[in-house]
Amino acid sequence: MKELRRHIRLVGLCLMGLFGLWMLYFCYSTYFYGGRWFANPYNTRISSKKQSVIAGTITDAAGEVLAYTDAAGERHYAQDEATRRAVSHVVGDDGAKVANGVETFHAQYLLGFNSNVLERLADVIRGQQQRGDDIQLTISAELSRTIAEAFPEGRLGAVVVLNYRTGDVLAMVSKGDFDPENMDEALANEEAGALVNRATQGLYPPGSVFKIVTLASALSSMPGVEERTFLCTGQLAVDRSVVTDAGDAVHGEQTLVQAFSNSCNNVFASLALDLGYQTLGLTAQTMGFNDNFLFRDLVVYNSSYPIDDKSLDDLAWSGVGQGRVLVTPLHMAMIAGAVANDGQMMEPRLLKAVVTPQGQTRSRLSGSAVYAEAMTPQVAQIIADYMVTTVQGGTARQAAISGYRVGGKTGSAEASDDKTIDTHAWFAGFVQDDEHPLAVAVVVEFGGSGGSVAAPLARIALEKAISLGL
């Protein structure tokens, strides 16, 4: 009998332990994923709330109205179509067809879920219908329009502009776009990806912009690598493949900074082989690759870097941003921003203010937060200098802005083994300036050359942001 009671107590303790673990997991999931569960378009609480609450207004950082509810209770968007399209993926739509737009992801504010008992009681006493909170975003509608107008006609892709000191998202333009006032047309183009936010959901091979990561790994792990010279013969035989450069270029003998400025695949594939999967993978992971992004203000798909030691060929190509490496444009802007910000990578922030119908600011606002110490300040300074050199006399010359220290890296990422298909055109860079701390990433799908297509678009975006005082 004593033995039986002992077993019963043991089983009871095990069950209590399992229950405790379940409760801990529940609390963890609610804290980190609660907002994402709440914003699910199938959440019936949201749909029912829309029947009884006047949704709040959404404005940009300058106060320009991006979404509002009229007197008849109908939801409308910015007055002109150009603005509606330029910010369509950021704002989203009333029917939650766009995943994770502000309309859905921040419905708890817009539909008054966070209003307290006193606020609701005041509405009842006044005989007024409950109204949700107003949201002011960090983005600039004017900057977004300028970027959308400058984007190569008929092309798909994305442009992201960040304040690399605060993490504020100043523009997040995704092409193709849609008009939230004409969702029938948008749904008709759904197969073409009109509703996909390519800035946060588009996972692209980064091509040579990934050389920022490979360079950081080499500077951190290979003493004396800056003093070395490298010979580029145009072909680097690995195992079962040969690494070549764009246009079959042969760069000859060059320093590390020259190899970066020339975007030499031979050198950076060689560096990847010297570093190995573990070292290069650790650097990539420090910069956010393979991490589960749980940002407070927006949902970003996870970038990936292979660390499973598949083959030397895979390792060599990963060092130049090909193979199985994938990244979103927003993450690439964060990496460029970390270089300019002494190695600190900031968490992207989209909410500038949340204001109650009574004009009070909600206490739970997102403040600036460091996402990661992506690299040491010393390494960041060297990479920043290399990127500035690349703009001044390398492949990124078309991103230069007179009177400003602009750094950047171009990329032409292979999207297929078929060399007849144009590459994705990439640029990632920054303006290193106390008054205009700007980071930018551009990708134009099948756009061709990063230097001639993506870099000029980045310059337009940065020049406009500077002119707006951002």
For residues 240 and 120, what is the distance between their CA atoms, to the nearest angstrom?
68
Range among 55-64, 241-250, 309-318, 362-371 rated most confident: 55-64
Question: Per-residue pLDDT for 24 more than 60?
Answer: no
Name the E strands within 8-60: 58-59
Q: Which tokens is 58 given?
A: 């959404």
Phi, psi of 15 (to 5 degrees): -65, -40
Q: Are 301 and 203 in contact (CB under 8 A)?
A: yes
Amino acid type, 137: L
Question: Per-residue pLDDT for 339 more than 90?
Answer: yes
Rounded to 5°, angle at Cα 204 from 199 and 209:
95
- Residue 84 domain-assigned (yes or no): no
Say how many domains are in the chain.
1
The rounded Cα 419 to chain-centroid distance in angstroms is 28
For residues 206 and 322, what is the distance between their CA atoms, to the nearest angstrom?
7
From the list 162, 183, 157, the residue with the least C-alpha distance to 75 is: 183
- Residue 333 domain-assigned (yes or no): yes
pLDDT in tens, 408-429: 999 999 877 666 788 999 999 9
- Residue 75 domain-assigned (yes or no): no
pTM over 0.85: yes
For residues 427 and 442, what is the distance between their CA atoms, to the nearest angstrom?
5
Of all residues in the chain, the percent with pLDDT exceeding 90 is 71
Question: Per-residue pLDDT for 58 more than 50?
Answer: yes
Question: Per-residue pLDDT for 115 more than 60?
Answer: yes
Looking at residues 322-342, what average pLDDT do you find? Answer: 97
Report the CATH number that the domain containing residue 299 is assigned in CATH: 3.40.710.10
345 lies in which domain range? 207-351+366-467
- For every residue of 366-377, DSSP letters joined together read PPP-EEEE-S-H
Question: Per-residue pLDDT for 4 more than 70?
Answer: no
Q: Which tokens is 356 given?
A: 């109650």
- Residue 302 domain-assigned (yes or no): yes
Q: Are 242 and 233 in contact (CB under 8 A)?
A: no
Residue burial 53-77, b: 16+ Cβ < 10 Å; e: rest = bbbbbbbbbeebbbbbbeeeeebeb
- H or E element in which residue 439 lies: strand 438-444
Q: Are 99 and 91 in contact (CB under 8 A)?
A: no
- H or E element in which residue 163 lies: strand 157-163
For residues 358 and 124, what is the distance between their CA atoms, to the nearest angstrom?
14
**Confidence bin at 27 (pLDDT 50/70/90):** very low
Per DSSP, the three-state class of 2 is helix
For residues 130 and 120, what is the distance between their CA atoms, to the nearest angstrom?
7
Q: Which tokens is 344 given?
A: 């600190």
Q: Pairing between strand 58-59 and 157-163? A: unpaired
pLDDT of 459 reads 98
- Residue 331 domain-assigned (yes or no): yes
- Residue 315 domain-assigned (yes or no): yes
Alpha carbon distances (Å) from 361 to 64, 122, 134, 354, 355? 19, 17, 10, 6, 5
pLDDT of 26 reads 43
Q: 22 Cβ partners below 8 Å, 6+ apart?
A: none
pLDDT of 341 reads 98
Q: 322 Cβ partners below 8 Å, 6+ apart?
A: 205, 207, 413, 414
Question: Per-residue pLDDT for 135 more than 90?
Answer: yes
The mean predicted confidence, pLDDT, of the chain is: 89
90-94's contacts with Cβ under 8 Å and 24+ in sequence apart are 90/137, 90/139, 90/144, 90/169, 90/172, 90/197, 90/350, 91/58, 91/66, 91/67, 91/180, 92/180, 93/180, 93/183, 93/186, 94/55, 94/180
Phi, psi of 127 (to 5 degrees): 70, 30
Looking at residues 227-242, what average pLDDT do you find? Answer: 92
- Residue 77 domain-assigned (yes or no): no
pLDDT of 122 reads 63
- Residue 252 domain-assigned (yes or no): yes
pLDDT of 362 reads 78
Q: What is the largest CA-CA distance in the chain?
A: 89
Looking at residues 55-72, what average pLDDT do you find? Answer: 96
Q: For the beta carbon of residue 429, count every other beta carbon within 10 angstroms.
A: 34
